[in-house]
Structure 1
C-alpha cells in the first residue's frame, strides 16, 4: 500500500519538479554568465577610474600646500586639510615634517602683533641649545636642530625687523610636530553584506607624497584611502543587477503559476491530492466507497482510481474479518476487570521505564492480609464491593498528593501496588499515613472490619537495583510493618544510598582491573537440524565478599560512572579471544548499552578491532533490547547502519510490537529478532499470540531477517514454532 501511494504521488509531481528545475537552472546559468561579463567589465573600469582619481587628488593637494608649509601658514593649511578630508576620499591624512625651512612671510605669520611685510629681516637666530638657523637665500632660512631638540616642542626664533630707521627685536613661534586629520564617519553609511567582500576584494594601496625645497625634503604626506564610495557603487550596481534579473524572471514564474493553478492543478494535482487523502484514510483503516466519476483527470488516472477503489473494498473486508476486538482483548490482558487498575505486567513495564529514565520515587505494596476474615464477617458477596470501595478511597487520597506522578496497580485478590514518582520519604510517609487512617475511618462506617485490615510497605526506587531486588526490598519492609496491625513501614533513602558508594567503588575497580569472567548462555538451537547457532555472552561479576552482582545493577552503576563503554569494550575483547582459541562455528551475541552505541570514539574503536579480526566479525552479533531501542531510535538506527557497513550483525532482543512497531523496522537492516517469551508462552492455545507471531514471521521473510525465540518450555509450543518456520530457539 505504501509503494502504491508513493508511486501515485511521484508520477506527476516529478513532472512539475522537473520543469521548474530546468527553468530555474537555465535562468541561473544565463544570469551567472551575464553577471560575470557585465560585472567584470564594470569592476575593472571602476578600479581604473578610482586609481586615476586618487593619483590626481593627492598630486594636486601636495602642490597646493607646499607654499603653506614654507609660509608656515597653519590656519590656511588646516582649512585646506578639512576641505580635502570632507571629500570622503581619505580616512586619514598625516603630515610629517622632515626639515623646517621657512621664509620671511613665515616669520611674520607666526609673530604676535607684527605683520609688516615691508620690514627688512635680519639677525635670525635661535637658542643654541635647540639648534641653529642657516640662511639659504635672501628670503629662506633653514633650521638645523641639535640633539636636545624635541619635535613636540614649540620653536621660538628671534629676529630683528628694520623699517623707517626703527629696529624691533621680535620672536616667532613655530610648531614642528606631525599633523593628523581624520575623517568623521557619517551615521548614514550602509553596512555592506558579507558577500560584497567575495565579489569585490581589490585592495587599493595608500598614497604617499614627499615635498622638497631645493635638495631638502621638507614634508612627507601619508594619504590613507577611504574606499567606501567605491564599495557603495559596487554594492548599488550589484543590487540593481539582481533586481533587474528578478523582474526579468518574474513573468516566467507568473506563467508557471498560471499553468499549475488553472491547468495542472485541476487535471493532475487536485485529483492526486484527493487520492492521496483517500490512501491516508485506507492506511488508517478508514475505508470509503470511491467513485471514479468524482475525479477530473486523465484517463490513466481514472483507471488507477478504479483499481484503488477495488483494493480498498478488499482491504476493508479483510480488516473486518481480522479485527476481533483487539483493543478489548489488550485491555483485558493489562487491566484488572473489577477495579479497572492496571495489573502486575504494566507495573513491571513502568518499573523498567523508571530504570531507563532514572526517575526517583517510591515503590509501595498494599496488602489486605485478613480479606478472608472480612468475608466471614460481612459475607462473601460483599467482597467485590468492598475492594471497589477500598480502591476508590485510595485513589482519592493519591489524587490529593499528585494528579500525575502516582499510579495504583492490582496484582491479585488482596495485593495492590503504588508507584509514586518524585516522592521523597516525608511525602511517601504522609501518603501512607493518610491511606491507613482514611480507609479505616470510611470503611468502618460500612463494614465490620478485622483487627488488621491493611498493611503497607515501601522502598525508594533503587536506580542500581533490579525489579526483583526492589520487590525483595519491599518485602523486607513488609516484614517490619506486619508486626503491628494496620501499620506501614517505609525504607528510607539513606538506607538505600548507604551502599551506593561501596558499590560504585567495587564496580570501578572491576572495570579498571578487567577483573571479571564471561560465560556463554541462552544457547539457541536451529529448528532444522537442532545445531547450536547462537550463544549470548553473560559477564560473571563478584563483589568484595564474593557475592555475585546482578548484571543489571552493575551496568546501571557503570553507566552512572561513565565507565560502561570501557566495560563493553572489555567484553568484546574477551569474546574475540574466545572465538580465536575455541574456533567456535556458532555466533556470539553481545549486549551493548545505549551510551556505548552512541559514542563516536567507541564506534571508531569497533571499526578498528573488527577490521583487525575480519575472519571473526561475522560471528559477532550486537544485541539491544527492543524497549531500549524504541527509546533511542535515532542512536539505534545510526548504530545499525554502522554495523551493517562493518559486515557484522545486530539482534533486537525481547522484541514485542508495542515497543517497536514492525512498520518502523522496515527500513532498518536488523539481522535477528528474538521474540519476547510472553509471545511464545502457551502459544499453541492462544489465537491472538499465534496471529502476532505469524505477522512477525511474514515481516521477517519480507525484510531478510531471522526470528529466534526464548526459553520455550512446552513441547506443543516448540512444535508449532517449528511448523511456522522460526529459525532457532533456546529451551
Structure 2
C-alpha cells in the first residue's frame, strides 16, 4: 500500500472517530433535552389541568371532570391522565399508547426514553380534594429525536466526505515530491541519471531531493568518465604497439563485416621477406625502425584514397595487410605498384634491394574468412616468383555463379525445415560453477549430406527474406529441446537484423512468452555488437519490448571498436559477451585487465551481466574470475 493511501486511511479513521464521538454526544444531548422538556411539559399540563378542575371537585361524579380531562388528553401528547380524589380513588383514568411511524425499533431500543410524569394537587377552599397525574407519551419525543439524529448524521457524513476529499488533495500535493523522488530512483536504477528540476518546498523532502540530484549527477559523471576511459583504453588495445596499425583481431572483425554486408573489397597482404635473417643481422632498434617505416608507408598511402575505405593492419612480425573497399582490380594494382616503388626505396636504406612481396585477392562474401586470407597468401607466393618487390592480384570472381545454388539450397532447407541444432559454448557461472547458458548453432546440410557454412546460408536467407521463417524454426527447435530435456539453464539463440526489425516477428515472440512465461527465463536472444551498431534505435526498441514481457537479450562479440560503450546505456541488454580478443591473453596484459575492470564497473551500474567466450588458457580463466565476471565458456 502506498504512503498516500496509508496516510489517507489513518487520518480518515481519525476524522471518523472524531465525527462519530461528536455525533453520539450530540444525540445524547438532544435526548437529555427532550427528556427535560417532556417533564416540564407534563408538569405544566398537570398544574393547568388541576386549576381547571378545582371548581368541580366538590362532586366527583360531575361529568365535566371527564370532559375537561378528555379535552386535554385528546390532543395526543399524553400517555395517561389520572384524576383521583383525596382518598386516592380513581375518578377519571385516560390511557393511550401511541407510536410514531418512521422510527425503527432498533433506534428505540438503543435510546430508551423514560416517560415523563408529573402531578398536581387540587384544592377546594382549604381542603385537598384530589390529585391529577399526567404522563407524557414518548412517541413524539422519539420522532423528534430520530429526525434530529438523521440530520446530525447527514451533516456528519457530508463533513467527513468533504474532509476526506480535501485531505486526499492535500496529500497528493504534499507527497508528489516523494513520488518524484521515487521515480528518479527508478530511473537511476535503469541507467537514466535525471534530476528533479522543481524542488519541493517542504524542508525535509527538499533535502532528500537535493541529495538524490547530487547522487544522480555523480553517477552520470562516473558513467561518462568510464565511457571515456573505456574508449581510450579500447582504442589502445586495438592498435599494435610497435607499428601503430590495427591488430589481427581487428582485421578479423572488419573482414567479417565486409562479408556480411556483401561489400566489394580486396585483401592485400604485404610481407617483409626474410625478416628473421634481418633480425639476426641488424640491431633491435633498427628492426623496430624498419617496421615503423613500413607501417608509415601503408598509412600514408591509405590516406590518399579518401573516396574509398582503406584500412591497414599488422599481423605478425613483418606481415601486414590492407583491406581495400574497392571494386576494380586496376585500383588495387595502382596501390600495389605505388607500394612496390616505395618499399624498393625503403629496402635501399637497409641494403636490401628485394625486401617485400605482395599478394591481393578478392573478398568472397560466401566463403569463410580463412579462405579469403589463404587466397591472398597464395597470390603472395605467386608474387615471389615474379621478381623483386613485386605483387600479384587474384581478381577473378569464381563465386558469382554459386548464388543460384545457394538460393536453391536456402529455400529448400527452410521450406522443408531440413536443419538441426547443436548446443555449444557452455558458459559456467564463476560463483557456483553451475551451467549458466549454452548457445544454439544451426546445422544445415546440402543434398550430399555435407555441412554447409552457416554464414553464407544466413546471408542468402536474409537477402531473400527467408531469415524470419528460419529464426522462428530455430526458436521452435530450441523450445522443444528445453521442454523435452527439462532444461533449467538458458539457451542463447542468434537473431538476424531482419527479424529484429519485423513487427510481425516481435508480436509472435511476445505472444509466445505471454502464453508460457517460463520460456522467457530459458531463452536469451543474441545479436552481434556490429549488427547492433548499424541500427541502435531498432535494436533498443526490440530489447525494450522483449524485456517488458520478461525476455532476455545478449550482445555478443562486444568491443568498443564494434559498439561504443555510451550505446550500452541506451540498449540495456541483460548480458554482454566480450569478444575473444579482449579475454585472450588477459592474464599477461595489465592493459586488458584494466579495461575489463572499467567495463565491469559500467555493467554493474546498468545491471548487466558480463560474460566471456572460448577462454582456453587456465590463467586467463582464473584472471577473469578474479576480476568478477559472471561467467565464461572454455
**Same fold per superposition (TM over 0.5):** yes
Where does 1:239-250 land on structure 2 (aligned, <5 Å)?
Answer: none
Deviation at 1:445, TM superposition (A): 4.9
Q: Choose 715-724 or 562-571, whichever is displaced more.
A: 715-724
**2:370 is aligned with 1:468:** yes
Contact 1:453 1:485 in 2 (8 A): no
Matched, 1:563 2:563: no
Partner deviation per Cα, 1:528-574 (whole Å, 9 max, x = no partner)? 33222321101112334444323222222222222211211111111
Q: Which residue of 2 is the match for residue 654 of structure 1?
A: 557
TM-score, normalising length: structure 2: 0.59
Q: Equivalents in 1 of 2:364, 2:520: separation in Å?
A: 37
Q: Output the CA distance in 2 between the equivalents of 1:382 and 1:623.
A: 47
Q: Contact (CA 8 Å) 1:683, 1:717: kept in 2 or not?
A: yes
1:636-682 deviation line (CA, Å, top 9, x unaligned):
11111221233222122223355445554345453222233434344
- Counterpart pick for 1:427 among 322, 331, 336: 331
Contact 1:378–1:448 (CA under 8 A) maintained in structure 2: no
Q: 2:405 aligns with which of 496, 502, 508?
A: 502
1:20-41 deviation line (CA, Å, top 9, x unaligned): xxxxxxxxxxxxxxxxxxxxxx
CA contact (8 A) 1:525 1:531 kept: yes
**1:713 matched to 2:616:** yes
When the two structures are aligned, how many residues end up with a matched partner? 434
1:418 match:
322
Contact 2:579 2:612 in 1 (8 A): yes
Q: Counterpart of 1:413 in 2: which secondary structure?
A: coil
3-state secondary structure, aligned to 2:556: strand
Greater relative contact order, per chain length (Cα 8 Å cut-off, separation 6+): 2
How many angstroms apart in 2 are the aligned matches of 1:313 and 1:594? 35
- CA pair 396-584 structure 1, distance change in 2 beyond 3 A: closer
Aligned twin of 1:482: 384
Provide the secondary structure at the position in 1 that maps to 2:425: strand
Query: Structure 2: 5+ residue runs without aligned partners?
Result: 1-191, 193-202
2:345 aligned with 1:345, yes or no? no
Which residue is equivalent to 2:274?
Answer: 370
In 2, Cα distance between the equivalents of 1:315 and 1:583? 42
Q: 1:571 to 1:371 in 2, by over 3 A?
A: same
Cα distance between partner residues in 2 of 1:346 and 1:691: 20
**Residues 418 and 659 of structure 1, relative CA distance in 2, 3 Å threshold:** closer
Taking the aligned partners of 2:570 and 2:508, their CA distance within structure 1 comes to 26
Q: For the Cα contact (< 8 Å) 1:378–1:447, is it kept in 2?
A: no
TM-score (normalizing by structure 1): 0.52
SS of corresponding position for 1:459: strand
Distance 2:520 2:410 in 1: 29
Structure 1 stretch displaced more, 657-666 or 501-510: 657-666
Pairing of 1:393-472 with structure 2 (within 5 A) = 393-395=297-299, 397-398=301-302, 402=306, 404-440=308-344, 442-443=345-346, 445-449=348-352, 452-472=354-374
Is the Cα contact below 8 Å between 1:541 and 1:551 reproduced in 2? yes
Judged with a 3 Å threshold, the aligned counterparts in structure 2 of structure 1 residues 501 and 424 are, in CA distance, closer, same or farther, namely: farther
**Coordinate RMSD, CA, aligned:** 4.2
Structure 1 pair 669/395, CA: closer, same or farther in 2 (3 Å)?
Answer: closer
User: SS at 1:435's partner residue?
Assistant: helix
Deviation of the 1:515 alpha carbon: 1.4
In the aligned structure 2, how far is the partner of 1:395 from the partner of 1:531?
48
Shift of 1:592: 0.2
CA apart distance, 1:362: 0.8
Structure showing greater radius of gyration is 2
Match of 2:478 among 575, 579, 585: 575
**CA distance in 2 between partners of 1:570 and 1:603 (Å):** 15
Q: 1:419-449 CA deviation, whole Å, 9 max, x = no partner?
A: 1112312221232233324533x34654432
Q: Provide Cα deviations, 1:574-595, integer angstroms capped at 9, x if missing partner.
A: 1122223222222211100111
Listed as ranges, the matches of 1:73-472 within 5 Å are 332-355=236-259, 357-373=261-277, 382-395=286-299, 397-398=301-302, 402=306, 404-440=308-344, 442-443=345-346, 445-449=348-352, 452-472=354-374
Question: In the alignment, is the contact (CA less than 8 A) between 2:308 and 2:324 conserved in 1?
Answer: no
5 Å matches for 1:580-595? Answer: 580-595=483-498
Residue aligning to 1:35: none
Q: Distance in 1 between matches of 2:391 and 2:319?
A: 14
Query: Residue 644 of structure 1 contacts residue 669 of structure 1 at CA under 8 Å; is this kept in 2?
Result: no
Unpaired runs of 5+ in structure 1?
Answer: 1-282, 284-298
Q: Distance in 1 between matches of 2:565 and 2:296?
A: 39
For residues 214-255 of structure 1, the C-alpha deviation after alignment (integer angstroms, 9 at most, x for no partner) is xxxxxxxxxxxxxxxxxxxxxxxxxxxxxxxxxxxxxxxxxx
The corresponding residue for 1:603 is 506
Residue 512 in structure 1 maps to residue 437 in structure 2: no
Q: 1:508 to 1:474 in 2, by over 3 A?
A: farther
Partners of 1:308 and 1:534 lie apart in 2 by 37
